[in-house]
Amino acid sequence: MRWLLLALFLALAGLVFWSWSRRQRLAAGMPKGRVVYADTGAWQRCERPLFSPRYRLAGKPDYLVEERGCIVPVEVKPGRDSAEPYEGDVLQLAAYCLLVEGQYGQRPRYGYLKYSQAVFCIDYTHSLRQLLLDRLDTMRRDLRARDVPPNHTEPRRCLRCGHRRVCRERLA
Ligand code: SF4
């Protein structure tokens, strides 16, 4: 009986945590992404970087695909195997959506993120766009700052980091 109660408690705790993290994600403007089937044969390699003078941003998505009269960016991460898209990957894709918007004069409604086992369709919502612009502002501010605290608590990342020798904030 005790084991049953413990299992029930753990299942409930998992549910609470899942719904809490979902609320946090939505509150932050980060769309969850849907797993979709994608016709990868229609994807065209993006040969040249896209550039936005307005946002002082440049980048090259792996592919561009035309769907329902709209250009959609695709980012491929063959080494990733996750049931949910990583936040950093979603923001990278959002940056490509912003660049496509400037380059082609039309705002993509979504972009694709391809991991090793799944393709996620990420909605390019107003809140995701705003989140990206806020992050870009923060990054630019940080570039001018004398010291910036690390955005992680993982000493192992510092051990692999190329800036480790000069970084005063290193954790290992
Ligand atoms: S060494 Fe510094 S820059 Fe590199 S990961 Fe650690 S905190 Fe970040």
Residue 159 belongs to some domain of the structure: no
Residue 64 belongs to some domain of the structure: yes
Residue 150 belongs to some domain of the structure: no
What CA–CA distance (Å, rounded) separates 63 from 75? 7
Task: Give me ligand 1 centre to Cα 6, in Å.
Answer: 40
For ligand 1, is residue 167 a contact (CB within 6 Å)? yes
pTM of the model: 0.74
What is the full per-residue pLDDT of the chain (172 aa) written as tens digits? Answer: 555 544 544 444 444 444 445 555 555 567 777 887 877 788 999 989 999 999 999 999 999 999 988 999 999 999 999 999 999 999 999 999 999 999 999 999 999 999 999 999 999 999 999 999 999 999 899 888 887 888 889 999 999 999 899 888 899 9
Range of the domain at 125: 27-145
Residue 140 belongs to some domain of the structure: yes
- Look at the chain and report how many structural domains it folds into: 1
Task: Give me ligand 1 centre to Cα 150, in Å.
Answer: 6
Are the C-beta atoms of residues 113 and 77 closer than 8 Å to each other? yes
Residue 72 belongs to some domain of the structure: yes
